[in-house]
Amino acid sequence: MDAAPEPVVPLDASLVAAARRGDRSAFGALYRRHARLVQAVLLARVAPDSVADLVQDVFLIAMGRLQALRDDSAFAPWLATIARRRAADWRRRRRETVPLEEVEPQAMPEGESARDALLARTALDAIASLPEAYRETLLLRFVAGLSGPEIAERTGLTHGSVRVNLHRGLGLLRERLRGGGSLA
Amino acid sequence: MREREEDALPEELAKLERALSRLPLPPEPDWDAVRRRARPPVLVYAAAAAFLMVALGILALARDAWRVEALAGSPSLRGPSFGRRVAVLGGVATDAHSRARIEVRGLGDVELEPGSVLRRVIGRGAERKLALDRGTLHARVLAPPRLFIVETPLGVAVDLGCAYTLSVGAEGRGRLEVTSGRVTFAQAGLESFVPAGTWCPLLPGGAGVPRRDYASDAFLAAIAAYDSLGRADEALDRVLAAAEASDALTLWHLLPRVEREDRERVAARIAELIEVPADVSRERLLALEPGALDAWWAAIGMGGADEWRAWPGKKVSWP
């Protein structure tokens, strides 16, 4: 008997269409495909300890508004827009503004080395101190693992802008980290 | 293979990327549970909206309900009512020993004689519409014309600002008597213009011709015979012979109700009794052209025909 073929990873459009018809497992697949994207967008704007709740909020909002999405293949940029708006709401409602660099980063999973946890915290602090234009691009690269073209597709920026943001952002980040001695 | 800028990340940034890519994600929600939680609010909102609409509907019905007062005996309310108020689609019935007064909100009132059944029906816009299934009502209405309307099995009475009595008998006949102002009564494409001081029978075959209360006994007897004898030639002869100038209103109503040969005799008699328009040819009148009929109506001195039409702009469909 032949082995079953490898399942083809469904595209966003087919998952969105299925989710719109009430297929919750399809929406779960969309969550697993894009949770990192949402996490990165939120980390660029809100305190890390609030990100977990907001990630779920963003997907719940998306689920409720899925009927309003006109282009099923544009799910990722649409989701990123919801995440940015949710972050803006969070900042507006927050009475006391807490600078990102003063907030404790999320706890690392058990088993991670103390060095990795320290490094992640240091990196988030350093990225939070960068100009806003570079934050989201760097976090999409580091947290979501997206390439330059993928970042452009999900943010609406041109490839050139993404390339510039990455180049300058990485340069600034390296300076900040070296200046603090974190990477020594 | 994924394309990346800065493919050759320095070692220190590569370490940083590894650390950040391992940031924990929140646990994935149970999407089915989310759906179950999402349903109740939708149902609750829908139920609340439905309840609100029903409540607003009931409130609107209650606000528009008309007060009913017993003048004698025990009149009864039927259908939608609130206390002693009758709502749209509700009704009032009187037995052989009871009488009732119904307030027509904003326009006047109606008194209902014994043995009557009156219903409120839905009117258009500001209209106040009733249906008299049987019995007798006296209406006193102080309102702009054409807002108070009473439907009967024999036709529709449209008030032009007046007081009148309307009766519908069990035998399929009725009577409309106007004591002030004027009323039009329409049935089967025929309209009767009934001014104060006149009355007309309501007949199964069409709206009867109005006649003056103070007409001569001979004329009233002749027109009554005409009503009951099926409009025989000799009956029409007696009507024409007994008519006076003040009876031109009655003769004018006969024009569309008689055959062509008789119409010539009626027109000739009207022309003998009153001054008719010289610029309207007799042929046009005999052909029942609306303009010619209206010109002759104006000559009677009861105002222009357009002031009378039950429905402005609508020409009477003469048979």
Could you give the dihedral angle defined by the CA atoms of residues B31, B33, B35 and B39, in that order, rounded to the nearest 10 degrees? -170
Complex ipTM > 0.90: no
Q: Is A66 an interface residue toward B (CB < 8 Å)? A: no
Contacts 24+ apart (CB under 8 A), B38-47: B38/A64
What does each C-alpha distance from A98 to A45, A46, A50 come to in angstroms? Answer: 11, 9, 12
Q: What was the pLDDT predicted at B35?
A: 61
For chain B, give every residue range classified as CATH 2.60.120.1440. Answer: 65-208
What are A77's two structure tokens?
């940029």
For A114-173, what is each residue's pLDDT tens digit? 677 777 878 888 888 888 888 999 999 988 888 888 888 888 888 899 999 999 988 888
Q: In which domain, by residue range, is A50 found?
A: 7-95
Residue with tokens 């029903």: B54
- A117 lies in the same domain as A71: no
Q: Do A120 and B22 touch (CB under 8 A)?
A: yes
Number of domains chain A is built from: 2
- A128 lies in the same domain as A90: no
Task: Please give the Cα distance from B166 to A8 (Å, whole number).
Answer: 83
> Which among A27, A108, A163 has the least Cβ separation from residue B5?
A163
> Which among A63, A141, A177 has the least Cβ separation from residue B12?
A177
Residue with tokens 């690269």: A141
CATH topology (fold) of B65-208: Jelly Rolls (2.60.120)
- A53 lies in the same domain as A27: yes
> Which among A123, A150, A167 has the least Cβ separation from residue B16?
A123
Judge whether B125 and B88 are in contact, CB under 8 Å: no
Three-state helix/strand/coil letters over B163-201? EEEEEECCCCCEEEEEEECEEEEEECCEEEEEECCEEEE
pTM for this prediction: 0.54
Cβ neighbours of B14 in A, within 8 Å: none
Which domain CATH number covers A64? 1.10.1740.10
Q: What was the pLDDT predicted at A97?
A: 46
- A87 lies in the same domain as A11: yes
Q: What was the pLDDT predicted at A119?
A: 78
- Give how far A166 is from chain B: nearest CA, Å: 8
For B133-189, what is each residue's pLDDT tens digit? 999 999 998 877 888 899 998 888 888 878 999 999 978 789 999 998 889 888 877
